[in-house]
Amino acid sequence: MKVNIYYGGRGLIEDPTLYIIGKLTEVLEELRVNVTRYNLFEEKNSLALLPKTLKEADGVILATTVEWIGIGGYMQQFLDACWLYGDKEKLEKLYMLPVVTTGTYGEREATLFLIQAWEMLGGIPYSGLSAYVEDNVEFEMNSEYAKLIEKKAESFYRVINQKRVMLPASNMVLRQSLMKSNSIVLTPQESEQLSMYVSDDEYVRKQKQDIEELTQLYKNMLSNSDGDTGQEFIRNLNENFRPIDDFKASYNIILSDVNRNLIIEVDGKQLKCYYGDKPDADVIAKTTREVMNKLVLGRVTFQGAFMSGELTAKGNFKTLRTFDQIFQFNVL
């Protein structure tokens, strides 16, 4: 028989959880059980690989310490990895004993969480050990507590050895629904291979680099194309132009996400719109294609975009405010 212990605490000497799993290990080894302990804080860079260690186990002990609230980050990451990469067929046969201690509050809630999580994974949870420990020395010196821990280890051994059947829980129905909603169905071998890729920092870094290169490539393609959207801006500006006598101004609107400058030149009743560059414009504004699209569709005003921070501008602010007078877009 083989039992794996997954410890989700920080490994502090005064952690009472270490004392409990130490006592459990002693009893199980006396019963000729092969016990292997994994300290998750030491395996934090390869947590995605740990689910494959469940393959040879007959039972597991999930031990953690509540320092503030919840089961802790390492244990949560391990359970996430089991859900994503674990062999679900193997998990259905695995018995789990939760062990939770705390010096603050929440040991029972954390124990219940571990039980529910294991049920969601398809495993078989067994009633665990939870304790509030105010004085570590007193707790470890108490012989009655030691007997309780030893009896729990013996009970867990018998449960695994006899392969006891547990009553079904409603979490199983929820698990089936979640499994059905998963669009990617992976075999145990594929899940294990995927977990290896996830834990490979070099592979992940290379994938991120490739994604960034593709993103930049498409951005360049957009910036170099004279698409319909750009012409639509010009068409909308011409259609909604309301000239003011003796008003003369120029606007340079920088569309930062597509690296294009929309130039608007107004001279009385004359309007000229084009894409180019005009560094000496009366108003130089900077925004995105999305905000410009909202502007020409009447969903936001030029000054409103400036006040909300969606658009930045410098230059003649009187000319900036006049933009909404000479271009009156139909509000949608």
Number of folded domains that form the chain:
2
What is the CA 308 to chain-centroid distance, rounded? 29
Q: What do you get for the CA distance between the two ends of the chain, in Å?
A: 70
* 123 three-class SS: coil
| Shared domain check, 300 and 154 | no
* 202 three-class SS: helix
Residue 112 pLDDT exceeds 70 = yes
| Shared domain check, 173 and 91 | yes
In a domain, 258, yes or no: yes
| Shared domain check, 256 and 174 | no
Each residue's pLDDT tens digit, 128-152: 999 999 999 999 999 999 999 999 9
Contact 2, 34 (CB under 8 A): yes
Question: Residue 178, exposed/middle/buried by CB under 10 A (0-12, 13-18, 19+)?
Answer: exposed
In a domain, 169, yes or no: yes
Whether the model clears a pTM of 0.75, i.e. scores above it, the answer is no
In a domain, 136, yes or no: yes
Q: What is the CATH number of the domain that holds 276?
A: 3.30.1050.10
The more confident residue out of 184 and 267 is: 267
Query: Got the DSSP string for 258-320?
Result: TTEEEEEEEETTEEEEEES--TT-SEEEEE-HHHHHHHHTTSS-HHHHHHHTSSEEEE-HHHH
| Shared domain check, 245 and 155 | no
Instruction: Measure the CA–CA gap between 124 and 163, rounded to whole angstroms.
Output: 10
Each residue's pLDDT tens digit, 48-107: 899 999 999 999 999 999 998 899 999 999 999 999 988 888 999 999 999 999 999 999
Predicted confidence at residue 213, as pLDDT, reads: 76
Predicted confidence at residue 108, as pLDDT, reads: 95
Beta strands in the chain (DSSP E): 2-7, 34-39, 59-66, 95-102, 124-125, 129-132, 248-255, 260-267, 270-275, 283-287, 312-315
> In which domain, by residue range, is 250 found?
228-326
Of 129, 161, 183, the last residue of a domain is: 183
In a domain, 175, yes or no: yes
What confidence category does residue 197 fall into, taking pLDDT thresholds of 50, 70 and 90? low
Residue 181 pLDDT exceeds 90 = no
Predicted confidence at residue 206, as pLDDT, reads: 79
Predicted confidence at residue 183, as pLDDT, reads: 45
| Shared domain check, 235 and 171 | no
Of 183, 199, 214, the last residue of a domain is: 183
Predicted confidence at residue 208, as pLDDT, reads: 81
| Shared domain check, 289 and 170 | no
Residue 247 pLDDT exceeds 80 = yes
Q: What is the CATH number of the domain that holds 103?
A: 3.40.50.360
In a domain, 150, yes or no: yes
Length of the chain: 332
Average pLDDT over all residues of the chain: 87
| Shared domain check, 256 and 173 | no
In a domain, 319, yes or no: yes
| Shared domain check, 42 and 128 | yes
Each residue's pLDDT tens digit, 201-212: 777 777 787 787
In a domain, 248, yes or no: yes
What confidence category does residue 279 fall into, taking pLDDT thresholds of 50, 70 and 90? very high
In a domain, 208, yes or no: no
Predicted confidence at residue 212, as pLDDT, reads: 79
Q: What angle do CA 36, 108, 79 make, to 5 degrees?
A: 45
The more confident residue out of 199 and 21 is: 21
Which strands form 260-267's sheet, in the order they lie side by side?
Answer: 270-275, 260-267, 248-255, 283-287, 312-315
Of 130, 158, 183, the last residue of a domain is: 183
